[in-house]
Amino acid sequence: MTPPETTPPRDVAHPETTATGALSKKGLGAGTVGLVGAIVIGISCIAPAYTLTGALGPTVAEVGTHVPAIFLVGFIPMLLVAFGYRELNSRMPDSGTSFTWATRAFGPWVGWMAGWGLIAATIVVLSNLAGIAVDFFYLMLSQIFQNPDIAGLTSNPFINVITCLAFMLGATLISYRDMQTTQKLQYVLVGFQLLVMVLFGIVAFAHVAGGDAFDALPISLDWFNPFAVGSFSAFAAGLSLSIFIFWGWDVTLTMSEETKGSSSTPGKAATATVVIIVVLYLFLSVALINYAGVGDGEFGLGNEDIQGNVFFSLAGPILGPLAILVSIAVLSSSAASLQSTFVSPARTLLAMGHYGALSPKFSKVHPKFFTPGYATIVSSVVASVFYAVMRFISEDVLWDTITTLGMMICFYYGLTAFACVWYFRKQWFSSARNFFFQFFSPLVGGLILGVLFFTTIIESANPDYGSGSNIGGVGLVFILGMIIIVAGVVIMLIQAKLRPDFFRNKTLARGIAGDANEADAALPE
DSSP 280-323: HHHHHHHHHHHHH-SSSSTT-TT-TTTGGGHHHHHHHHHHGGGT
For CA atoms 58, 63, 67, 73, give the dihedral sign. negative
Q: Residue 16 has what pLDDT?
A: 38
Q: How much is the average pLDDT of 415-442?
A: 95
Which tens digits make up the pLDDT trace of 37-48?
889 988 988 889
pTM of the entire predicted model? 0.85
Q: Residue 133 has what pLDDT?
A: 79
Q: In terms of DSSP H, where are the helices of 360-475? A: 373-393, 395-423, 432-434, 441-460
Contact present, 416 and 84 (Cβ < 8 Å): yes
**DSSP state for residue 33 in the 8-state scheme:** B
Contact present, 7 and 370 (Cβ < 8 Å): yes
Contact present, 93 and 252 (Cβ < 8 Å): no
- What is the chain's Cα-based Rg? 22
Contact present, 185 and 342 (Cβ < 8 Å): no
Beta bridge partners of 475: 470
From 84-98, 110-124, 251-265, 494-508, the region with the lowest mean pLDDT: 251-265
Dist. CA 166–CA 114, nearest whole Å: 31
Which tens digits make up the pLDDT trace of 100-154?
999 999 999 999 999 999 998 888 877 777 777 787 888 888 888 888 888 888 8
The model's confidence at residue 54, banded by pLDDT at 50, 70 and 90, is confident
The percentage of the chain sitting over the pLDDT mark of 90, rounded to a whole number, equals 34
What is the crossing angle of helices 373-393 and 343-354, to 10°?
Answer: 120
